Amino acid sequence: MSEKVRELISEADVEAKIAELGAQISKDYEGESVFLLCILKGGVFFTTELAKRITVPVSLDFMSVSSYGAETESSGVVRIIKDLDTSIEGKNVLVVEDIIDTGRTLAYLLENLKHRNPKSLKLCALLDKPERRVSDVAVDYKGFEIPDEFVVGYGMDYDQKYRNLPYIGVVEF
């Protein structure tokens, strides 16, 4: 099967939005530090760019959580593939995700993290697809609201392809 990628959000628009999010997060956490919890693999591009634009002290760890595999639709079964290396107890935790689709994965993850006693727990997503939502999740910092299309680039992939695109694109089959 051959697919094409159509640009949805330009590299310049993505960079401008990340700078805006970084400024807001820096303001909101002024005088404190923030623990960025990057959701792998898709969130790594967004997390590193966001971290560079946050002016308060930042620490960082990674989790890998999956409900997709090689498919374009969520399986609905959430698995933690890689857990945190450090405790989040007493920390201001900001979960950084590339995209929120159905919300199932994040609802599960946020509930899991609440039991680890962070000082605060918030969510930052580059992209949000609210019309696909089946689980209620509050997005504290949102980059772009997008239509129900399968997107790639800036860390997001289709079967491990297109992660390295510097813009957000739509896969057209």
Dump the DSSP string for 3-22.
-EEEEEE-HHHHHHHHHHHH
Active site residue 85: no
**Two tokens at 45?**
């591009």
3-state secondary structure of 35: strand
- Distance, CA of 10 to CA of 84 (rounded, Å): 32
- Distance, CA of 42 to CA of 150 (rounded, Å): 14
The burial class, CB within 10 Å (0-12 / 13-18 / 19+), for 61 is: middle
- Check 13, 28, 98, 101 and give the catalytic one: 101
Catalytic positions, please?
101
